Amino acid sequence: MLEIEKLHASYGEGDILKGVSFSVAKGELVTLLGRNGAGKTTTIKSIMGLLSQKTGKILFDGKNILGLTPHEVARLGMGLVPEDRRIFSSLTVLENLNLPVTRRRGEGWNLTKIYEYFPRLEERQKHKGFELSGGEQQMLAIARVLRTPTSFILLDEPTEGLAPMLVKGIEAILNGIKKERMTLLLVEQNTRFAQKVANRHYILSQGEIVYTGTNEEFMADERVQKRYLGV
């Protein structure tokens, strides 16, 4: 569903990605792992059209989206849950969920389905964004993307700063979304969390893919984990 070929990306004169290539098949949850500064978020920004200085190919459903703007990428069915969540703090949960004005009938998840997966959001639907906990804000950020006609979701560090109990909640949500045959690319530093949700893993180091393997292969390879992730 997504195929990256020899992607180079930079900020100014500094090369961040140095020929990155990887793929994500339909229905998979694939993680992009690596230490801080490895290029994970830069990869996400490149895919979504948020970074202009890039070369290579980014194929989404066979279409090269390299030069498209963020709103053009989104219209093709790709949704982003950013690291800082970007919910509207002055609006209620319900208002945030009703915001996607381009959502057409029959596209995206309706509120009934959203509340089945996110019962806490139904309980808090009249509360404003700034009144939510970090975990609730993360749930809202994911749910808001699901309200749009999205078939592929990019998640950037969804567990960052969350307590272990809330991380378990995000784990359950992602595993549930996988059962809906959604496709996900997850940027994450929490390897224990990644092992509980992913089908496959890629590791980025200094702007290059240095490892790829199934979840089972990754869990069994302590040498790779220690070398590239320091765990």
Domain around 205? 1-77+152-163+183-231
177 lies in some domain: no
127 shares a domain with 62 = no
Residues 158 and 46 in one domain: yes
The whole-model pTM stands at 0.86
Q: Are residues 157 and 51 in the same domain?
A: yes
Buried b / exposed e over 29-44, threshold 16 CB at 10 Å, is bbbbbbeeebbbbbbb
Q: Residue 29: name the closest of 223, 202, 190 by CA.
A: 202
Same domain, 112 and 38: no
pLDDT tens per residue across span 75-128: 898 999 988 888 899 999 999 998 865 544 447 888 999 999 899 999 999 999
Tell me: do 146 and 42 sit in the same domain: no
Q: Are residues 19 and 62 in the same domain?
A: yes
Q: At what angle do helices 164-179 and 134-146 cross, to 10 degrees?
A: 10
Residue 150: what pLDDT?
87
> Is 178 a member of any domain?
no
Kindly report the average pLDDT of the chain as a whole number. 89
Q: Are 203 and 33 in contact (CB under 8 A)?
A: yes
Q: Would residue 201 count as lying in a domain? A: yes
Shared-domain flag, residues 221 and 206: yes
pLDDT of residue 31: 94
138 and 95 housed in the same domain:
yes
Q: Does 176 map to a domain? A: no
Domain-located, residue 68 = yes
Count the domains in the chain.
2
Residues 14 and 53 in one domain: yes
Two tokens, residue 162: 């969350």
Q: What is the pLDDT of residue 231?
A: 55
